[in-house]
A = this chain, B = another copy of it.
Amino acid sequence: MSQIAELIHSSVADDRRDARLYERYRDTLDLPVAWNDTLDTLVAHRSVRAYLPDALPEGTVELLVAAAQSAASSSNLQPWSVIAVEDPARKARLALLAGDQKQIYQAPLFLLWLVDLQRLTGIGEALSAPTVGLRYLESFLLGAVDTSLAAQSAVVALESIGLGSCYIGGIRNRPAEVAAELGLPPNVFALFGLTVGHPDPDRPASVKPRLPQEAVLFRETYGAGDNGLALAAYDHRLRGFQREQGMIERDWTEQATQRVGHDHLARSGRHVLRDILHALGFGLE
């Protein structure tokens, strides 16, 4: 590239960077970094809940699994599996178990990301080696972390080829029924689902503004100080977003606390998660 072409290129990239960051924070974030396509994909993330009926490109599932398996795994234990569900009848049954979310019916692919301690248990049995460590809460937590890292790499991969997705935490509403539907053995738990498809251009998803960085990023030690100002600024910015979207205007601080009140959790069924995990075979000791 000539020097002038390079300057134009980097100036266009800077504009794109600033626009992406503004959309994410609804505020100017002065970041003097060279932009690239991967950063653009990451910062432009949005959860897609409206899909076209179009089939996915050949090899999509295998591509997403390759990206997922490429994520880090603690001690290379690889304690997760994934089930690709495409059968409309099974998708419908899973949708009902996950709070009847319509995007599960609509997306051509529904991935179920599983914390899988059964593979290691089975290997231990075959080798007559003890695997009692799997009974500890630490092992379940390590499985949940690795499953999440894997899924997120799959999400970045699918967005890089123009597809969209939405995490479905509602799959934890009825874990025992979900396990039965998927034929899960003991020590396997569907941590979340992920709908995957071509975003419907007529019903585009929006970038959700996030908390100002000063509310979540600290230096050296936890910022004990008052972050009331940052939260008030966020409430204000999110109201602007809600107005644009034709949504009811409401403070995030109020919304978020309501979400973690007891009633909401109990209605979803997730207040008994610990008991159900025990029943599914996890020790959580």
Partner of A24, one of B70, B82, B221: B70
Interface size on A, residues (CB 8 A): 127
Report how far A90 CA is from B220 CA in the complex, Å: 8
Closest chain B residue to A63 by CB distance? B33
- Within 8 Å CB of A142, what residues of B? 169
Q: Would you call A264 an interface residue if the criterion is a C-beta within 8 Å of the partner chain's C-beta atoms?
A: yes
Report how far A114 CA is from B219 CA in the complex, Å: 13
- Within 8 Å CB of A236, what residues of B? none
- Within 8 Å CB of A36, what residues of B? 37, 160-161
Tell whether A213 pairs with B62 under 8 Å between CB atoms, given A138-B265, A260-B139: yes
Interface string of A20-57 (1 = CB under 8 A from B): 01001100010111101111011111010000000001
Partner of A38, one of B41, B43, B73, B116: B41
Q: In the complex, what's the smallest C-beta–C-beta distance from A211 to chain B, in angstroms?
A: 6
- Interface SS majority for chain A: helix
One of A4-12, A100-108, A143-151, A196-204 contacting the partner = A143-151
A124 touches B257 (CB 8 A): yes
- Within 8 Å CB of A90, what residues of B? 220
A72 touches B84 (CB 8 A): no
Known: A38-B156, A156-B156. 14 other contacts (CB 8 A): A24-B66, A31-B62, A42-B71, A62-B213, A65-B217, A72-B167, A75-B169, A84-B217, A123-B253, A124-B260, A131-B260, A136-B270, A142-B169, A149-B167
